[in-house]
Amino acid sequence: MNTKRKYFGTDGIRGRVGEPPITPEFVMKLGWAAGRVLAQNGAGPVLIGKDTRISGYMFESALEAGLSAAGVDIRLLGPMPTPGIAFLTRNTRAQAGIVISASHNPYQDNGIKFFSGDGTKLPDEIEQAIEDELDHPLEIANSSKLGKVRRITDAPRRYIEFCKSKFNPVINLGGLRLVVDCAHGATYHIAPYVFEELGAAVTSIGTSPDGFNINAESGATNPQKLQEMVIKKGADAGIALDGDGDRIIMVDHKGEVVDGDELLFIIARSKCTSLNGAIVGTVMSNLGLEQAINRLKLDFLRAQVGDRYIMDMLQQERLTLGGETSGHIINLDMTTTGDGIISGLQVLETMVLMNKTLQELKSGMHKYPQKLINVSTGSQVDISRLSAVDKAVKAAQTELGDDGRVLLRPSGTEPLIRVMVEGVDESQVEKLAVYLAREVETAIQRSA
């Protein structure tokens, strides 16, 4: 991706509400700039969807004003999961879709990301053109050419039917008891119905959004309540989605978390003969996943962290399946972007077809102990230039030997350095992660 980007990161534009660039003024100008660029490349409306955070109302109106000023028609979807917006962009033949969401972040954050007309991320050159257009003064189209606005009222039902269409039509989920946690986010009025209409007995939590509770102590990043509810209800499995519905974490019948690496393994094993010889993970994927995939006679490729990079590698290598430990899983044979509901359906389908519990399915993969510590930087820091950190990393890697890994990388969405250590001995992994995090923190303070 172009490193000269001022606004666009690996997942659109994201930040704290009220702090540049996540302000109404900027978002309106962004809508106008996007409208100007998109109008040069095609015709048709632009869809706008959002998650459930309170600031979504404000930014929806701002985008609507900017796009209309550029002469582009708008279709409003209301609260919709990110993958649902991607589907509807393609399904309605729109020229683009815009998502107002900060995904798994708390309500104080928000962001804007775009889909092209085919339901994939905008090409780099289009994002760059939008940034370039932002430097120009806002010019309003002639009154006779201003964009018109219409609301698509059946968007949730269209997406529910799309998700159901991806499930094996000769089986159903009858007999399965599920707990579904929607993180008070964009799937609250969709996910429970998908699983219920396929036959499961569903208990729903995290389905009462108030604008402020999105991702709060719930969802894919906080599955503790789901674990408790699965045990309490005697459920066969739990499903936790994040605020915008593109991530999934599951819980087995014993209340144990099944993360994205394990889910990716289960899906890969169920369709290994149709995967073109490989799947894609990231540099953060557990070494146990790589070994398990290799035992399936498949190659395991590692991309940089971020669904954009996974998608790039999938397309370059002509593959169909990839994902992250966080539960962001891409199934290109079924849809165009990461989709938590569809990924969950594939796992449940495997449970039914193989007549195995989720715990039994995940047992084919042995996870190596892994410790991740986030070190706050306060600003952009190039850790490759910090010799003390380099020395500490080499020492830790030597101690781990061939059966372990050390990885330091900057977050793509927050001012953090992520310190990851992986190895055979859990206590050693923990000790080295803490040691490296302290070394990074000290080096950053000295370089400030």
Length of the chain: 448
Q: For 348-404, what is each residue's pLDDT tens digit?
A: 999 999 999 999 999 999 999 999 999 988 766 777 778 888 999 999 999 999 889
Give the pLDDT of residue 188: 98
Which residue, of 337, 367, 397, is where some domain finishes? Answer: 367
Distance in angstroms (rounded) separating the CA atoms of residues 368 and 141 = 58
Q: Using CB atoms within 10 Å of the CB of residue 67, give its burial: 0 to 12 exposed, 13 to 18 middle, 19+ buried.
A: buried
> Are 194 and 144 in the same domain?
no
Number of domains within the chain? 4
> Are 142 and 187 in the same domain?
no
First to last CA, the chain: 27
Q: Has residue 398 been placed in a domain? A: yes
86 close to 29: Cβ distance less than 8 angstroms: no
Q: Has residue 159 been placed in a domain? A: no
Q: Has residue 182 been placed in a domain? A: yes
Strands (E), 17-73: 46-50
297's CB contacts (< 8 A; 6+ apart) are 272
Mean pLDDT, all residues of the chain: 94
Tens of each residue's pLDDT in the chain, 448 residues: 444 678 998 789 999 999 999 999 999 999 999 999 998 877 899 999 999 999 999 999 999 999 999 999 999 999 999 999 999 999 999 999 999 999 999 999 999 999 999 999 998 899 999 999 999 999 999 999 999 999 999 999 999 999 999 999 999 999 999 999 999 999 999 999 999 999 999 999 999 999 999 999 999 999 999 999 999 999 999 999 999 999 999 999 999 999 999 999 999 999 999 999 999 999 999 999 999 999 999 999 999 988 889 999 999 999 999 999 999 999 999 999 999 999 999 999 999 999 999 999 999 999 999 999 999 887 667 777 788 889 999 999 999 998 899 999 887 667 788 999 999 999 999 999 999 999 998 888 887 6
Domain of residue 314 covers 259-367
Give the pLDDT of residue 380: 66
Distance in angstroms (rounded) separating the CA atoms of residues 344 and 108 = 28
Q: Has residue 4 been placed in a domain? A: no
Helix/strand number for the chain, H first, E second: 14, 18
> Are 311 and 401 in the same domain?
no
> Are 267 and 342 in the same domain?
yes
> Are 46 and 97 in the same domain?
yes
For position 423, which CATH number holds?
Answer: 3.30.310.50
Q: Has residue 430 been placed in a domain? A: yes
> Are 305 and 420 in the same domain?
no
**Cα separations in angstroms, 179 against 229, 254, 262, 309, 323:** 7, 13, 19, 32, 23
For position 18, which CATH number holds?
Answer: 3.40.120.10
Tell me which residue of 278, 422, 291 sits closest to 365, measured CA to CA: 291
> Are 301 and 313 in the same domain?
yes
Phi and psi at residue 257, in whole multiples of 5°?
-70, 140
Which residue, of 226, 255, 284, is where some domain finishes? Answer: 255
70 close to 31: Cβ distance less than 8 angstroms: yes
112 close to 28: Cβ distance less than 8 angstroms: no
414's CB contacts (< 8 A; 6+ apart) are 374
> Are 264 and 138 in the same domain?
no
Q: Has residue 60 been placed in a domain? A: yes
| Alpha carbon 176 to chain centroid, angstroms | 26
Residue 21: Cβ within 10 Å count? 17
Give the pLDDT of residue 412: 67
> Are 55 and 141 in the same domain?
yes
Give the pLDDT of residue 145: 95
Q: Has residue 312 been placed in a domain? A: yes
Distance in angstroms (rounded) separating the CA atoms of residues 92 and 77 = 12
**Cα separations in angstroms, 306 against 169, 309, 318, 352:** 32, 6, 18, 31
pTM, rounded to two decimals: 0.92
> Are 180 and 149 in the same domain?
no
> Are 244 and 303 in the same domain?
no
| Alpha carbon 102 to chain centroid, angstroms | 10
Phi and psi based region of residue 147 (left: phi greater than 0; alpha: psi -120 to 50; beta: remaining): beta
Q: Has residue 162 been placed in a domain? A: no
Buried/exposed 145-166: b ≥16 CB within 10 Å, e otherwise = ebbeeeebeebbebbbebbbeb
Token code pair at residue 70:
């550029």
Tell me which residue of 281, 328, 322, 287 sits closest to 304, measured CA to CA: 281
- Residue 246 DSSP symbol: S
- Known catalytic residues are 103
Which residue, of 308, 343, 367, is where some domain finishes? Answer: 367
Helix (H, G, I), strand (E, B) or coil at 178: strand
> Are 135 and 32 in the same domain?
yes
Phi and psi at residue 182, in whole multiples of 5°?
-95, 5
